[in-house]
Structures are given as C-alpha cells and as structure tokens.
Amino acid sequence: MGEYHELIRNFDKIRDYMRDFYIYGFKSRSDFTRKSARTYDNEKRRIESYMGEYMKWEYTKTGKNLFISMDCARLPLNPLYAAWKSKTFTGNDIMLHFYLLDILGKDSRLSIENLTDLICSRSGQVFDPQTVRNKCKEYADLGIIKAEKQKKALLYSLSDNTFNQLLQSAPGLGEAVKFFQGSVAFGEIGSFIMDNQRLENDRFTFKHYYAAHTLEDGILLDLLSAIRNSCAIEFVNVNESGTRVSTFNGIPVKVFVSAATGRRYLCLYKTKEKRFFNYRLDHIKEVSLKDFCETAGQHQTDLENNLDRVFGVSFGGQNRKEIVCMKLYVNEKTDGFILDRLIREGQGGEVLRLEKNTYLYTKEVFDSNDMSPWIKTFTGRIIQLEGTNQTVINRFYKDIKRMKEMYED
C-alpha cells in the first residue's frame, strides 16, 4: 500500500473526483465506486487540502457527504486552479529549479560543466552533469532557459522573456491578466503568471462563471492543437454514469460553449457519417492526434455556414429543417424587457408585432428540441406554440399540464 502524498503525478487522477465533489456534491463514500475506498479517502484528503474553506460536509441519511461549495460571483480566483498546481516533483527538481534561476539570473551564459560546478559548490550537493543537462533541456523546451551554441559548446542562460519586459511595452497588461484569468479559456495559465508575479485580482468579479471548466483544459489544449494543425483525432468518451466507454474519431472543428449553462462541447466532423456531432468536453478522457486532414478547412467553412441554424448543440436527425413559432403576450407598457430578451437571446429569430401586446417569434433550426428549455423560460406568456416538429410542441403542452398538476394547491 502506497504512502499518501499531497501532490500527484497524473492530473486525470484528481479531475473526476474534483468534478464530482464540485458539480454533484451529494455523493457519499459508498457512491464512489470507480476505485477502491482507499483511493477515495486519499483523493478526498487531497481535495480537502487543495480547496480549504470551500470544502464543506454534512451528514445525510446515506452518510457523510463532502462537497465543494462556493458562490462564484464572489471569487477573485477560481479555487479549482489549485488542481493544476499540485504536480509532484523530486528533490532534484526543486533544487535545480532554484539554483538554475539563481546562478543564471546574473546575465550568465554557462556551459553545462561550469553550471554543474557552481550548483554543486553552492548547494553542497553533488550533481551529475547529465542530470543538470536534462533539466536544462526540459527548461529550454518550456521556454525558461535558452541554449546557444558557441563554437563547440552549448551555453545556457535564462530566457529574457519576462513579464516585466512586456509590461514596459504595455503597462495595462497586469490588469488585463487579472481580468482574463476569469474570462477566457485556460484561466489557470493567467493564474500561473499571477503567482509568479505576485499579482492579486482585487479588481474583478465574475458572474455566470463556471469553475469546473478548468478541469477540462488539458483535453481542450489537445483539441485546439489538433484544430490548429488540421489533424484528425481519436478520443475516448465516457458516458455520465461511467458505464460506457467508446472510442470516436473524426476531424475537430470548433469548441461550442454555453455561456448560460456552463457546458463545453467538441464539434467534430465524422467522416463516415459525413456530418457534425458535438461531444461534451467533460466526457472526453484521452485525445490522440492522427494524420493531417486536407479537408479540415472545408469543414470549418461548412460549419460556419450552418451555425445560424444550430440553436444549441444539436445538428438534428433526419429532418434537418425545423421551424418554431412562438406567439407571446407582452404588455408593452410594463414588459419591454421581454422583447429585449427575445432579441438578446433569440439567436437572430424574427420578432414580429402582430397587434398590441402580441408578438410572434419565428426561428428556423436543425433541431427544435434544442430550443425547448429556452422556450419554457417564457412560461406564463406563451399564447401559442407551433412548429414542424410536433413531438416537441406536444411535449411543451404536456409539460405545462404536468406543471399545473404539480403545483396545484
């Protein structure tokens, strides 16, 4: 049985547990069946340590429930970024890190032999030149160190790519990092910069912020790399209950994001089916890049040409052209905000004034199912709902009837 360590080697190990504790928050020890109870205990202990005050617990009939709870609108920084800062390392890693920064920091350009000698004398510990060379190569790959050839020797120095250098060109960059760490993809990278520069976000808060996105950013990075290089991919997809594991392949085209519900999807062109599909990012486990795809650009264009008919993430079934018409009662004196909402959220659907206080919203989409949740947000005002997909229309009326029964006094 392994000893418990606070830090981890593999990010995937913590990704699922953290998501479960955060998104669901009602699972007790017995509900975590993926791995052994001991694994659960270790992951729980780690997450408690990373999350600190945001980790809460309560006793329920099924046992003690641990969960991550936070009001995102009050957070200066996403606490789940901590997961990205938990990578384990060896004693040599941390020693070499600081001695390299120390020794190479004074405009030094040193050969591996000189560098090794200095590290050994200053730290009082013997390092093999090959160990130091490997670390230098690793840091050169990361961009921290540069290696320049002088005659036959490679000379190492610190990269001059510092944040302060960029600040000289653009003094507002520090504030920009504070903002963008909470408002664009890969916010954790902004947080890395802030840690290194000792910046704190004391200016911005974020509403409709979905903290769990950060847990998918490793997958997102692979997907964007494939999109950028026009590569086909193969990936492992696990369904929500974790009971079905499938492998899919195709050409990644775009990432769909819901700003309202906090979901992110990979939009994939599947060559065999000759059509687009969306897959939830949090269900994707592994991505491998395959061959260069010559037609990637064409799929991008095809998708762009069809985006206005995708209301959510569905490209529909057999019937690829559906129309939804919603007639609404809008009191023009008091409910102007409803019209604003129709325009703001209606994704370009046509809004017509039929008569005083009566408006008609019409939209053509691939799949009217996608519109159902949004349509229901107008509950209480829908005079009539019509459309070419009668199943969706019928379900709406049935739902209203069920809700009436549900809330009957």
Query: Which one among 36, 159, 298, 306 touches other proteins, defined by CB under 8 A?
Result: 159
The least distance separating other proteins from the CB of residue 36, rounded to whole angstroms, comes to: 21
The verdict on 26 binding other proteins (CB under 8 A) reads yes
The verdict on 189 binding other proteins (CB under 8 A) reads yes
The least distance separating other proteins from the CB of residue 174, rounded to whole angstroms, comes to: 9
Q: How far apart are CA 64 and CA 305, in angstroms?
A: 51
Query: Residue 150 has which token pair?
Result: 């002088």
Quick note: the x/- pattern for other proteins over 255-284, rule CB under 8 A, is xxxxxxxxx---x-----------------
The verdict on 195 binding other proteins (CB under 8 A) reads yes
Query: Which one among 41, 113, 128, 175 touches other proteins, defined by CB under 8 A?
Result: 175
The least distance separating other proteins from the CB of residue 188, rounded to whole angstroms, comes to: 7
Q: By the 8 A CB rule, do 45 and 178 touch?
A: no
The least distance separating other proteins from the CB of residue 94, rounded to whole angstroms, comes to: 6
The verdict on 21 binding other proteins (CB under 8 A) reads no
Judged by beta carbon, residue 93 or residue 113, the one nearer other proteins is 93
Distances (CA, A) of 279 to 216, 260, 313, 329: 13, 18, 9, 37
Three-class DSSP category at 203: coil
26 backbone dihedrals φ, ψ, rounded to 5°: -125, 5
The verdict on 286 binding other proteins (CB under 8 A) reads no
Q: Count the residues of the shown chain that bind other proteins, applying the rule CB under 8 A.
A: 155
| Contacts made by residues 238-242, CB under 8 angstroms, sequence distance 24+ | 238/283, 238/285, 239/283, 240/283, 242/34
Three-class DSSP category at 2: coil
The verdict on 162 binding other proteins (CB under 8 A) reads yes
- Contact stretch for other proteins (CB under 8 A) within 107-115, 147-155, 315-323, 377-385: 377-385
Residue ranges in 334-373 that form contacts with other proteins under rule CB under 8 A? 337, 340, 343-348, 372-373
Query: Which one among 166, 236, 325, 351 touches other proteins, defined by CB under 8 A?
Result: 166
Query: Residue 252 has which token pair?
Result: 């990644």
Q: How far apart are CA 284 and CA 57, in angstroms?
A: 29
Q: By the 8 A CB rule, do 27 and 65 touch?
A: yes
- Contact stretch for other proteins (CB under 8 A) within 50-58, 148-156, 269-277, 290-298: 50-58
From the list 222, 379, 337, 217, the residue with the least C-alpha distance to 290 is 222
The verdict on 314 binding other proteins (CB under 8 A) reads no
Q: How far apart are CA 283 and CA 245, in angstroms?
A: 10
Residue ranges in 95-154 that form contacts with other proteins under rule CB under 8 A? 95, 97-99, 101-102, 105-106, 122-125, 141-144
Judged by beta carbon, residue 246 or residue 379, the one nearer other proteins is 379
| Contacts made by residues 20-25, CB under 8 angstroms, sequence distance 24+ | 21/47, 21/51, 21/55, 21/66, 21/67, 21/68, 22/67, 22/68, 22/80, 22/211, 22/212, 23/212, 24/67, 25/65, 25/67, 25/68, 25/69
Query: Which one among 184, 245, 323, 352 touches other proteins, defined by CB under 8 A?
Result: 184
Query: Which one among 30, 33, 36, 60 touches other proteins, defined by CB under 8 A?
Result: 60
Q: By the 8 A CB rule, do 28 and 62 touch?
A: yes
Q: How far apart are CA 89 and CA 98, in angstroms?
A: 13
Query: Which one among 38, 208, 320, 321 touches other proteins, defined by CB under 8 A?
Result: 208
Three-class DSSP category at 315: coil
- Contact stretch for other proteins (CB under 8 A) within 33-41, 201-209, 268-276, 352-360: 201-209
- Contact stretch for other proteins (CB under 8 A) within 35-43, 108-116, 248-256, 317-325: 248-256
Q: How far apart are CA 264 and CA 283, in angstroms?
A: 10
The least distance separating other proteins from the CB of residue 364, rounded to whole angstroms, comes to: 15
Residue ranges in 1-20 that form contacts with other proteins under rule CB under 8 A? 5-7, 11
The least distance separating other proteins from the CB of residue 385, rounded to whole angstroms, comes to: 8
Query: Which one among 70, 147, 154, 238 touches other proteins, defined by CB under 8 A?
Result: 70
Query: Which one among 37, 94, 323, 354 touches other proteins, defined by CB under 8 A?
Result: 94
> Which amino acid is located at 158 in the chain?
L
